[in-house]
Amino acid sequence: MPRLNSPDFIIFFSVTAILAIGVVMVYSSSAISAHVNFQDSYYFLKRQLLWVFLGFAAMFVTMSMDYHRWSKLAKPLLILTLVLLVLVLVPGLGKVVNGARRWLGYGMFSLQPSEIAKLSAIIYCSDYLARNQEKVTQFLKGLGPQLLLLLVIFGLILKEPDLGTALAISGTVFILMFVGGAKLSHLLGLASVGVAGVVAAILVEPYRLRRLLAFSDPWADPLNSGYHIIQSLYALGSGGLFGVGLGRSREKFLYLPEPHTDFIFAILGEELGFIGTVAIIVLFFLLAWRGLRVAISAPDIYGSMLATGVTSMIVLQAIMNIAVVTASMPVTGIPLPFLSFGGSALVFNLAGIGILLNISRYCHLR
C-alpha cells in the first residue's frame, strides 16, 4: 500500500468557507419567512445545521474510502437510482411541492432521488469510460450505452418536472465523454440534438415557455413570470459595492420568492454587496481549479474521470444558479451548492467532495 498524502487543503477550505457563509445567509434570508410561516425564526437554520452535520459525516466517510471501491458499486447505485426515480413519480409515494413531484419520504426527512442520480451517473459513466477506452471513439459501441443511460435519467427527471437538474446531469456526462476521448464530431452532433430536445421540452410546457419569455423581457409581465428576475436584480442592485449590511436585506421581507434556496445569491449580494458575491465566485473558482488539478494528477483514468465529474457537476450548478440570479439565463430551479438551504443536495454534494478529497490523497499536488 502506498503512503497516502493529506487531502487537498484548498478544496476542503473552499467548501468549508462556502458552507459557513451559507449557514449565516440561510438564517439571514429565511428568518422573516420562517417567522411568518412557522412562528420560529430559526426554523430553516436548525434544519440547515442538521443537514450540514449529516453532509460532513457523509464527506468524511467517502473521503476515507478508496475511490476504486466505487467502481464495484457503479451498477448497483445506478439501478437503485433508476428505481427511486420511478418511485418518486408514483402518486402517493412521491411528495409534491410547488407542483413538482421530486421527493420521497416525510417532512424534513425527505430524499430527492435526482440528487442521488447526479452522483451515481458520475460514478457509472466514469467507470464505463475508464473500462472502455478503446470503444470511446465509436458512436454506437462506445457512446451508445452512455446515451441510453442519459436519455432514461433525463426523461425521468424531466417528468418530475426538473429541467434544471436534467440539464446539469446532461452537461456533466457530456464533459465526461469529451474528457474520456469521444470524437468532437460525435459530441457536436449530440449537442445539436440536445439543444433541439431542450427547445422541445420548453415548448411543450407553458410555464417553461413563460420563463423563457420572461428572461428575454421580464418587464413585459412584472407581476407574474418576470417577478423573480426583477426582484433578484433589485436585490443585487441595492447591494452596491459593500452591501446594505448583514441581516438588513429588504427583499427577504417576502418580496423575493425562495430567498433561502434558489435566490440566496441575490440576498447575499444585497447584504454583502459586490465584494461578497465576488468572494463566493472566487471560492468556487478555487474549488474548480483544485478539482481539475486533482483530475489531471490522478494516478489512473478512473480517478481522473471521477474527479472531473464531481468538479464539473458542482461548478455547473454554481454557474447555472448565478446565471439565473443575474438574469443571464432563464429560471431553472437549481440551488447554489453548499450555500442554498437544502437536505439531499447538500449531503450528496458533500459526499461527492469526499470522493474528490480521497482521490487527492493519491496525487502529488503543489
How many DSSP H helices and E strands does the chain contain?
A: 12, 3
What is the pLDDT, as a whole number, of residue 285? 97
**pTM (predicted TM-score):** 0.93
Written as tens digits, the pLDDT of the chain (366 aa) is 456 888 999 999 999 999 999 999 999 999 999 999 999 999 999 999 999 999 999 999 999 999 999 999 999 999 999 999 999 888 878 777 766 778 787 666 678 889 999 999 999 999 999 998 888 888 777 778 778 888 888 889 888 878 888 889 989 999 999 998 888 888 888 888 878 877 777 777 776 677 776 777 788 777 777 888 899 999 999 999 999 999 999 999 989 988 999 999 999 999 999 999 999 999 999 999 999 999 999 999 999 999 999 999 999 999 999 999 998 888 787 899 999 998 889 999 999 999 999 999 998 776
What is the pLDDT, as a whole number, of residue 199? 75
- Tracing cell 464531481 back to the chain, one arrives at 310
User: Which neighbouring-strand residues pair with 173?
Assistant: none
User: 314 CB contacts (<8 Å, ≥6 apart)?
Assistant: 284, 287, 291, 337, 349, 352, 353
Angle at 137 between CA 133 and CA 143, to 5 degrees: 85
Residue 252 carries which side chain, given as an amino acid letter? K
Find the helix packing angle between 301-325 and 344-360, rounded to 10°.
140
